Amino acid sequence: MIGGLLPPILLSLKIAVIASLFVFALAATTARKMARIDFPGKSVLETALLLPLVLPPSVVGFVLLAAFGRRSPIGRAFESLFGLPIVFTWGSAVLAAVVVAYPLAYRTMKAGFESVDPELEQSARAAGAGEWQVFRYISVPLASRALTAGYILGFARGLGEFGATLMIAGNIPGRTQTIPTAIYVAVDGGRTAQAWAWAGTIALISFAMLWFAERAGRDRT
């Protein structure tokens, strides 16, 4: 029983950890840029970045399947270079998790960078600090609570992703079956005990992550 429960749990954690690292790097970089610059079409670009947040996951999965499937130019090029398709692999599940988790992390982190006083950053530049030093020693520490919250939300969103993952990665036991897809199959097959075990596991992991984020925020305060 326990052995049958572990593969989706371990795969989901693997996917969520890798995806959350990509999401954190992408969201932190773009959020700081968008918080500090203004240009024509900025609102249109931001709307496009946030679009996966409101689109049905099945639509996101369909777009990803069309863009990275075996018949797409990207999919054919990738398969010719590496001999493997992008879709229906655990890597495609990471891709789906990144796409759906990015908007949530981006919006949270952008609010954090917007709360940083620009005069502090300007003072550091005037003292001779480079952009990387300003980002590392001024922007990141002052926006650390939002960055932590953004990472946690991105991790939790990637861990619970279902629709887009099912579209682009499928539900192959031992290869692409994550906790959400395993719960769906278990419920459909009448295996309620297994469904409850997986549901309890993902709820416990999410609770622990949120508790850690809340505790970290209190410690900083």
Q: Could you report the average pLDDT of every consecutive run of 10 residues in the chain (221 residues)? A: 78 95 95 90 91 92 93 92 91 95 94 90 88 88 90 92 92 91 92 93 90 68 51
215-to-93, 152, 180 alpha-carbon distances in Å? 30, 12, 27
Residue type, 109: M
The structure's pTM equals: 0.90
Confidence (pLDDT) at 216: 64
- For position 130, what pLDDT does the model report? 86
Give me the residue spans of the domains in the chain: 2-36+55-220
CATH 3.40.50.360 at 2-36+55-220, yes or no: no
Query: Quick one: pLDDT at residue 129?
Result: 86
In sequence order, what DSSP letters do the residues of 94-139 get, joined into one string? HHHHHHHHHHHHHHHHHHHHHTS-HHHHHHHHHTT--HHHHIIIII
In angstroms, what CA-CA distances link 198 with 8, 45, 106?
9, 38, 29
Quick one: CA dihedral 171, 156, 105, 18, positive or negative?
negative
Cα 114 to its chain centre, rounded Å, is: 21
Q: Alpha helix (H) ranges present in the chain?
A: 2-36, 42-54, 57-68, 73-82, 90-114, 118-126, 131-134, 140-142, 144-159, 163-168, 179-188, 192-220
**Residues 202, 1: Cα–Cα separation, whole Å:** 17
**What's the gap between Cα 137 and its chain centre?**
25
Is the Cα torsion angle 13, 17, 18, 19 positive or negative in sign? positive
